[in-house]
Amino acid sequence: MQRHSIPGALLAMLLAVAMSACGTTEASPSTAGGEVPGSEAPESGAPESAAPPSGEPIVIGSTLSLTGAFAPTAALHRIAGEQFVEQLNASGGLLGRPVEWTLLDDESVGDNIGPLYDRLITQEGVDLIIGPYATPNIVAAMGAAERHGFVMPQHTAVHAPLMTYECQFPAWSLGPEPNVFMPNELFDALGSLDTPPETIVVVTNQGGSTDFITRGLPDVDDDPGVLTIAEERGIEVLADIPYPPGNTEWASIAQQVADADADAVIVNSLGIESASLIEAMEQLSYRPPMMFSLFPAPGPLLGLGEAATGHLSVSVFEPNEPILEAMGDEVRGIVEEFESRAEAEDLPYTTFETQAASSWTAWEILVAGVEAAGSLDQAAICDALHESGAETTFHGQLAFPAEDNNFWPSDQGIKQIQDGDWVMVWPEDIAAAELQGP
């Protein structure tokens, strides 16, 4: 199984460190002003000594779920975007011009997305766009981007076979076959334990961004997913429990999970769904030996305390040592500034991790494309990203292979809740702690 390794320079530093240690849809422009404390200009921006931006602002438009079910996670993307735009302006802007971000609330409703992006492009007159949060929303936005011929970097849609528009560019990748990569990475991690799980229960949101991880693509014969890959590895599936998107009734699902009493529970879920399932299992006085969630809101799980200890999920970045130390002052400044902003807003979860890192990367991709093109021409930006890729803070140099719908080999890892915090535990070359079993 191919994986995109941690950037070489960072890996070398990690090894050195380890050795030495033995509610509304009205437009909301966000215009940066002044230098961001504790952080430096991103590599994709102008030098810190650049002249202040001047002239007509470049307006970047998007939606986020400022209200509704996706709001707890979308808040992390909003703060990261605001921080990036301020930092970009403090370091010279884009093409020497200041940048503004026009942000609309999609209210976590997929049907709102297309019309809102149409509005941004045709009525608000934005120069550039960036995607929303959550795969269903991103797919809807991608349709609008394609209709109008706009480039669209996007944070979190990893369903590569579905992302067919040539000018969408992913900031988070599970490779061209996420339904193969994700189960294998998880089972590799679990297989490293002294007593690997022999039985599992699989609980699945039937939405398009999660169900195919469990069952494979519905229109492709014998396409693998968690169920078939588990069988190939000799792991018995004791229960396969689907639920509809937007589900709010967890008692019956919790009872099915408890009745099966498997060695591990795999929940291919979104947002707060896994936290809701755990709360329902707690009502039954049942805790599975191990539990994994695919795309959860990270804060609510931590908020469950002991009930979620040992929980596993996916991650592209966690600000753990020695990773943070190895990546240097620039990254530490980004992380600390984000946490300060999140704390000032009284968010329950203030850590700069996968969601924020993916947002940061999407903004870097957009800036890289514009700077390489030297203009705001959409076709030129798209061509420049295909030709030159993008240098990013958290993934190094990215290339966007058109034959794989622009998805690059994944460098995603597995994180676990240990001692009240998320830490990276797999694979070993980027782990900050050992994976803990039941």
pLDDT digits (tens, 9 = 90+) for 120-133: 999 999 999 999 99
The yes-or-no verdict on residue 9 having pLDDT over 50 is: no
Q: In the prediction, which pLDDT does 104 show?
A: 98
Domain match, 95 and 211 both: no
Nearest to 412 by CA among 420, 398, 397, 424: 424
What CATH number did the domain enclosing 164 receive?
A: 3.40.50.2300
Domain count, the chain: 2
3 in a domain, yes or no?
A: no
Please indicate, yes or no, whether residues 98 and 246 belong to a single structural domain of this protein: no
Residue 436 lies in a domain: no
Q: Quick one: 157 and 182 in the same domain?
A: no
% residues pLDDT > 70 (the chain): 89
Single pTM value for the model: 0.84
Q: Which comes out higher in pLDDT, residue 248 or 219?
A: 248
Q: Is residue 354 in some structural domain?
A: yes
Note the pLDDT of residue 324: 86
pLDDT digits (tens, 9 = 90+) for 309-353: 999 999 999 998 878 888 999 999 999 999 999 999 999 889 999
Per-residue pLDDT at 292: 98
Q: What is the pLDDT of residues 75-103, one digit of tens each?
A: 999 999 999 999 999 999 999 999 999 99
**Which pLDDT belongs to residue 298?**
87
Q: Do 291 and 305 fall within a single domain?
A: yes
User: Does 55 fall in a domain?
Assistant: yes
Residue 288 Cα distances to 106, 267, 285, 302, 333, angstroms? 36, 12, 10, 17, 38
- Whether residue 333 sits in one domain with residue 384: yes
Cα–Cα dist 119/125, whole Å? 8
100-119 pLDDT per residue, tens = 999 999 999 999 999 999 99
Task: Please tell me the distance from the alpha carbon of residue 176 to that of residue 125, in angstroms, as a whole number.
Answer: 34
pLDDT digits (tens, 9 = 90+) for 161-197: 889 999 999 999 999 999 999 999 999 999 999 999 9
Looking at the fold, whether 280 and 426 belong to one and the same domain comes out as yes
Place of tokens 């919790």: 254
Q: Residue 11: is its pLDDT beyond 50? A: no
Average of per-residue pLDDT values in the chain:
89
Clarify whether residues 28 and 55 are in a common domain: yes
Output the pLDDT for position 325.
Answer: 87
Q: What is the pLDDT of residue 49?
A: 54
pLDDT at 27: 52
Domain span holding position 365: 8-172+321-407
- Are both 403 and 308 inside the same structural domain? no
Whether omega before 245 lies within 30 degrees of 0, making that bond cis, reads no
- Both 291 and 336 in one domain: the answer is no
Same domain membership, residue 338 and residue 301: no
